[in-house]
Amino acid sequence: MAAGSGSVALAEKLQSLNGLFAIHKKKGPTSADVLNILKTKLLKEAGIKQHPMKRKRQALKLGHGGTLDSAASGVLGKKRGEKKYTTVGELGKATDTFDALGMVTEEQSYDHITKNDLESILKKFTGNVMQTPPLYSALKQNGQRLSCLMKKGEAVEAKPARPVVVFDLSVQDYNPPLFTLNVECGGGFYVRSLVNDLGKELSSCAHVKELIRTKQGPFTLDEHALQEEKWTIDEVVKAIESCTELVSSEGACKKLKMNPQENTEQVKEAD
């Protein structure tokens, strides 16, 4: 590869990076798509030719610890830790994916539901609760994601209900058929399942119309998630430094060093 001294310096800076940072995922692409876009941008800036999808002998390795639905936006971050979401649900319609991307499977009246009804039912879904994951999810069956199997038309077994924790649920807005919730929860929780279950409890049905992850672990959307227009080598360097200090202040440095694959965005992550 022929390159000037500037390109060589950028390439060396990029390849020397090793740390974690949070990014802002837009609505539409999958989490994997977002990482490939980020990787392509960084490699192009450094003048390095490498196919972003190839995993062997990579000049730059990126990974994420937890997925975010393609229909959702917000912080793409660590698999573990507290998460916060703002979600807009729509009453009266259920879909096979539990969100707006799916096919409508049921329609019910919602005229009988009041804001007080919704607020009252939230208590049942707060605390340590059992939740059944949606069929369209990143969970796997025989090594393949359920969502991929569903799209192929193959038989999929529903996963059993599992324990999850919800720290706080509140109604931000109610303008039927739409309602907006603030959700604070632990790992493994599906907001889509929550909204679907709420619709049933209210003697109707519902699906997620919009979903934004506003916080994951110590990383917030407004303060720490790197916007796409700042996906440059210098900005990544700053983000890594900032996020490392943030995690260190929470006493998590030791854990991150012991478990690098759980980092939010791990440059040089192991294959």
Catalytic positions, written as ranges: 69
The rounded radius of gyration (Å) of the Cα atoms in the chain is 20
**Count of Cβ atoms closer than 10 Å to residue 119 Cβ:** 13
Sign of the Cα torsion 260, 261, 264, 267 reads positive
Instruction: Report how far residue 268's alpha carbon sits from residue 253's, in angstroms, rounded to the nearest whole number.
Output: 17
Eight-class DSSP state of 131: E
Q: Are strands 83-91 and 127-131 parallel, antiparallel or unpaired?
A: unpaired
Asked whether 69 and 133 are in contact (CB, 8 A), the reply is no
CA-CA distances (angstroms) from residue 11 to 16, 23, 57, 64, 270? 9, 21, 15, 22, 20
Phi-psi domain of 63 (left: phi exceeds 0; alpha: psi -120 through 50; beta: other): beta
Instruction: Report how far residue 68's alpha carbon sits from residue 190's, in angstroms, rounded to the nearest whole number.
Output: 10
